[in-house]
Amino acid sequence: MTSRITRRRFGQLSGLAAGAALVSPAMRAATAPDIALEIAPYTLEASPKHHFKTVAYNGQIPGPLFRMRQGQKQTVEIRNASSEPEVVHWHGLFLPPEIDGAMEEGTPMIAPGGTVRYSMTPDPVGFRWFHTHTFAGKDLTKAQYGGLHGFVLIEPRDAPGAYDREVFIGLHDWGGHFEGSDDGAMSPVYDVSTINGKMLGFGDPVRVKQGERVMMHVLNSSPTEVHWIALAGHRFQVVALDGNAVPQPKTVEMLRLAPAERVSAIVEMKAPGKWVMGEVRKHIQSAGMGIVVEYAGVQENATWTQPERLIWNYRQFSASNKVLPIGDEATRIELTFDSKFEGHGSEERWRINGKSYPDTEEPALKAGERYRLVMKNESMDDHPMHLHRHTFEVRQVDGGGPEMTGLRKDVVLVAAKSTAEIEFVADHPGRTLFHCHQQDHMDRGFMMVFRYV
């Protein structure tokens, strides 16, 4: 009989075993790492009236921005000065499972007080991020609820850049508590929402100049919430999703980002004034999700223009709307998502093909083969599905329409009661985690691991 190790227990065991032993003080003193991260207690001031005790990377929320050159090896040192075991997931990078940052793949946890050091080769090019990958359960201040995240930009060896400057935007929600929703499920709701750790009116504005082309790298680091973002008086030319250039850049009124999704969009600054960039939905903007974009030399109150509808679809960015045959070379893996009711006062268990992690199947992959994940979402919730260590191509969303091509991502939102299909090439051997990026869902079993044979 084999005993299964839960996520929580795995963290306790590996954290105690691994973290402290990896780096000695002498080693640390020998050479300075390219990337140094310290995880330590921190109090976020979202506004003078809204404070959240949490942990942060290098004493800031969001954590630092790391710019790296594609293929140029980086040494990483992570010190855990918090009271809980930690692990850092490099989201969207092609890293081996030992350092990808998920204990389910085999990355050791870093014990409290411990330090780890390793090297990594950044790939692929684009807007990535890093974040904690721990268990929160009923404590909605831990794990991704606590806001442990930062930005990564992997630049190509030569980057001409059709823009004048870059701005990094991080969306997050704070002060979560579980509430029963209309469909009887328990979901987190939040008191405060922020951009770059601040509520609207309390952070530094984004200062721009007329005529600039500003590349906005927007990350939704919310533990559970989809966000809709607009910039009054301006439009976004979307050039990349999840850091990957889209086949058809499109200019849109607003962005939709599921948890863990990123959008890179160029904004032409041609409407001098002081504008609000924020959540389109009124109740979330009023909870704080907004930032002021201020043209140089402008003295006036910030203006918001309320959109009347929510508009977004993945398909507009794909290469082709013509009917393509479904590739026979891809091996289909059918995955059905649903939940097991545990009572109106409890959070449901999430299942893939009828099983919750750690009892979920471990499909076998052959290196070099192409696979098609057919994700049938039978639940009443949307799910942002994330595949670690790989990029996939979105081929179908909402259960119909022509095949899509060329839209490469690492997170896709699978709408409630719909089917989405993605394809990927198994080109990064090693255990590979696949999960819903909603913290409460992954904590309740919405994960599985692919293994290479």
Partner 1 sequence: MVRASLLAIWCVLMLARVAGAQGNYEIQVYGADTVAPKSLMVELHSNYTPTGQTKVIGGVYPTNHQEHETLELTQGINDWAELGFYVFTSEQNGHGVQWVGDHIRPRVRAPDKWHLPVGLSLSTEVGYQRAVYSPDTWTWEIRPIVDKTMGRWYFAFNPALERTLHGPDVNQGLGFSPGAKVGYDFTPKINCGFEYYADYGRLGGFDSLHEQQQQIFAVTDLNVSPKWEINFGVGLGPTAATDHLIVKGILGRHFDWGKRSAVD
Give the C-alpha separation, 288 to 388, whole Å.
31
User: Which region among 183-191, 194-202, 219-227, 427-435 touches partner 1 (by CB under 8 A)?
Assistant: 183-191
Region label for 280, one of left (φ > 0), alpha (ψ between -120 and 50) or beta (otherwise):
alpha
- Cβ-count burial of 379 within 10 angstroms (0-12 exposed, 13-18 middle, 19+ buried)? buried
Report, in Å, the least distance between residue 255 CB and partner 1.
Answer: 14
Give the C-alpha separation, 6 to 276, whole Å.
44
Our CB check for partner 1 shows the closer of 41 and 184 to be 184
Q: Which of residues 33-62 bind partner 1 (CB under 8 A)?
A: none
Our CB check for partner 1 shows the closer of 311 and 319 to be 311
User: Position 250: which residue type?
Assistant: K
Instruction: Please count the residues of this chain forming the interface with partner 1, following the rule CB under 8 A.
Output: 23
Region label for 70, one of left (φ > 0), alpha (ψ between -120 and 50) or beta (otherwise):
beta
User: Which region among 21-29, 175-183, 209-217, 318-326 touches partner 1 (by CB under 8 A)?
Assistant: 175-183
DSSP 87-117: -EEEET----HHHHS-TTTTPPPBPTT-EEE
DSSP state letter for 20:
G
Which residue's structure tokens are 């969207």? 92
Report, in Å, the least distance between residue 41 CB and partner 1.
Answer: 22
User: Which region among 14-22, 123-131, 337-345, 421-429 touches partner 1 (by CB under 8 A)?
Assistant: 337-345
Of the residues 119, 250, 346, 359, which one makes contact with partner 1 according to CB under 8 A:
346
Contact between 343 and partner 1 by CB under 8 A: the answer reads: yes
Contact between 307 and partner 1 by CB under 8 A: the answer reads: yes
Report, in Å, the least distance between residue 397 CB and partner 1.
Answer: 19
Sorted by sequence, the CB contacts under 8 Å of residue 30 that are 6+ apart come out as none
DSSP state letter for 347:
P
Of the residues 51, 138, 177, 366, which one makes contact with partner 1 according to CB under 8 A:
177
User: Which region among 81-89, 96-104, 338-346, 362-370 touches partner 1 (by CB under 8 A)?
Assistant: 338-346
User: Which region among 74-82, 262-270, 313-321, 339-347 touches partner 1 (by CB under 8 A)?
Assistant: 339-347
Q: Which of 212, 152, 203, 144 is nearest to 172 (CA)?
A: 144
Residue 309's Cβ-side half-sphere holds a number of Cα atoms within 13 Å equal to 4
Contact between 138 and partner 1 by CB under 8 A: the answer reads: no
Of the residues 43, 51, 113, 183, which one makes contact with partner 1 according to CB under 8 A:
183
Report, in Å, the least distance between residue 225 CB and partner 1.
Answer: 15
DSSP state letter for 316:
G
Q: Evaluate whether 188 touches 137 at the Cβ level (below 8 Å).
A: no
Q: Which of residues 272-301 bind partner 1 (CB under 8 A)?
A: 280-283
Our CB check for partner 1 shows the closer of 281 and 315 to be 281
Of the residues 297, 345, 368, 400, which one makes contact with partner 1 according to CB under 8 A:
345
Contact between 378 and partner 1 by CB under 8 A: the answer reads: no
Give the C-alpha separation, 147 to 132, whole Å.
9
Our CB check for partner 1 shows the closer of 56 and 255 to be 255
Contact between 184 and partner 1 by CB under 8 A: the answer reads: yes
Q: Which of 298, 296, 376, 383 is nearest to 332 (CA)?
A: 376
Of the residues 65, 189, 239, 415, which one makes contact with partner 1 according to CB under 8 A:
189
Report, in Å, the least distance between residue 426 CB and partner 1.
Answer: 38
Report, in Å, the least distance between residue 413 CB and partner 1.
Answer: 16
Contact between 191 and partner 1 by CB under 8 A: the answer reads: yes
Of the residues 332, 344, 355, 366, which one makes contact with partner 1 according to CB under 8 A:
344
User: Position 440: which residue type?
Assistant: D
Q: How many CB atoms lie within 10 A of CB 118?
A: 17
- Cβ-count burial of 67 within 10 angstroms (0-12 exposed, 13-18 middle, 19+ buried)? exposed
> In Å, how far are 145, 153, 305, 322 from 64, measured between CA atoms?
18, 11, 31, 42
User: Which region among 105-113, 197-205, 269-277, 340-348 touches partner 1 (by CB under 8 A)?
Assistant: 340-348
Our CB check for partner 1 shows the closer of 4 and 309 to be 309
Specify the length of the chain in residues.
453
Which residues of the shown chain bind partner 1 in the complex (CB under 8 A)?
177, 179-180, 182-184, 189, 191, 280-283, 306-310, 341-346
